[in-house]
Each structure stands twice: as structure tokens, then as C-alpha cells.
Structure 1
Amino acid sequence: MTRDSYTAQKQKIEKEIQKLQKQALALQTKRRGPVVTSILRSMREYDITPDDIASAYNRKTSHVAKKAAAAGAPKRTVPPKYRNPKTGDTWTGRGKAPRWITAAESEGQQRDSFLIKP
């Protein structure tokens, strides 16, 4: 493929993308009108003010922001529950068991024998 044909194809694709974006915007604008009309009709019917909508919207977005902040909060560390006496490796007892536990269990040892005593 020559450079000219690549550039020409790229420009053709970009032009098509712009055309499709304009079509999408026109469709959105066309469909938005009746929705806005319906919302205004409902607001008048139930005496809802723009301030009511703004406060409800802010409550919803602040709730979402709180959830996002909580999700990003650092998780607390869990103390280890099991210790390998040979290597000193530890495991909290959560998630998939480490290889040293599964190997010991396959040899007939009990998991409780690795419990860290308080």
C-alpha cells in the first residue's frame, strides 16, 4: 500500500466518521424534543420546580460519589491466621490456599496444625 493511498483511505474514513457523528447528533436532537416536552408536562402536573430537580439530582450524584469514594478507600489489612513453621510464610485464610498449605494437606497434615496461636 502506498503512502498516498493510505492517506486517502484515512481521510475517507475520517470523513465518514464525521458524517456518522452528525447523523447521531441529529437523531439525538430529534428524539430529545419529545422527552423534554414530556418532562415539562410532568413537572407542571406535579408542581415540580427546577430547584426540586436540581436538589434531587445533587442527592443522587452525591450518593454515587460517596459510593465511588468508598470503593476507592484503602482496605484494611487482615492479620494472618496460618503460618508455615518451616519458612515463616503466612496466610490470612482468605482466598485460594497457598501451595505450602495444599501440599501439606495432600501429605495428610491438618490445616489446623498451621493455626497461629493467640
Structure 2
Amino acid sequence: MASSLKELLAQRAALDQQIAETKDKERSEAIAKVRSLMADYGLTAADLGSRPAKPAKPASKVAAKYRNQATGESWSGRGLQPKWLKAAIAAGAKLEDFHV
């Protein structure tokens, strides 16, 4: 049974719609069941241990550990080595030569 691309796309769209409707229905049923159980046992959201998310800490600047005296470029020593440092090391310099 050969189906055309258009027919297959129509089938997929119909399935996607059916999946979305089923998901919404089952989600609503689950919420109703949870609410019912919470009412039966006198539970609140706090009883479930849900807590508000902690606010993210702002990223702190890390001091430079290595500096190119000629250009002023710097590197904290974290993450990948920058291109300027790789090039200098490849040219024969030592990492310690750039230590701040």
C-alpha cells in the first residue's frame, strides 16, 4: 500500500492533534485526581515539599591569572586556553611567562 507524501503528512497531522487532545485530557484527569486526594487527606502544596526556586546567583568575575603584556589580553585559567596563549606556547613560550 503506497501512500503519497501528502496523505502521510495529513495522517501525521491528525495523529499530532489526537496526541495533543489525549495528553490534555489525561493531564486534566490527573490534576483532578491529585486535588481529590489532597482534599481527602487535608494536604496543601506545602505538605508536598514544593518550595519556590532559589534565585540564581549573579556570575562573579574571576581574576586574571595570565596576561599578554604586549596586547593586554588576559585569561583566568578557566576553560579553554585562548588563541593568543595557544599561539604563544606553540611559538616556544611557556605558560609561566604569562602568569600575573
Q: TM-score band, normalised by the shorter chain? A: 0.5 to 0.7
The aligned residue for residue 36 of structure 1 is 33
Give yes or no for the alignment of 1:54 onto 2:54.
no
Give the unaligned 5+ runs of structure 2.
Answer: 1-9
CA distance in 1, matches of 2:86, 2:74: 13
TM-score (normalizing by structure 1): 0.53
Q: CA deviation at 1:30?
A: 8.9
Once superposed, what is the RMSD of the aligned Cα atoms? 3.6
Give yes or no for the alignment of 1:101 onto 2:85.
yes
Q: CA deviation at 1:22?
A: 3.9
Displaced runs of 4 or more, over 6 A: none
* Greater relative contact order (CA < 8 Å, ≥ 6 in sequence): 2
Pairing partner for 1:90 from 62, 68, 74: 74
CA distance in 2, matches of 1:100, 1:25: 54
Q: Which has the higher helix share?
A: 1
Count of aligned pairs: 87
Pairing partner for 1:80 from 51, 59, 64: 64
Q: CA deviation at 1:107?
A: 1.7
For residues 43-87 of structure 1, give each alpha carbon's deviation from its aligned partner in whole angstroms, at most 9, with x where no partner exists.
97xxx422xx42224x4232xx11xx12xx320000111111111
What amino acid maps onto 1:32 in structure 2? A
Q: Determine what percentage of the aligned residue pairs are the same residue.
A: 27
Relative to structure 1, the CA distance from residue 104 to residue 60 in structure 2 (aligned partners, 3 Å threshold; closer, same or farther) is: same
The aligned residue for residue 3 of structure 2 is none
TM-score (normalizing by structure 2): 0.61
Relative to structure 1, the CA distance from residue 95 to residue 87 in structure 2 (aligned partners, 3 Å threshold; closer, same or farther) is: same
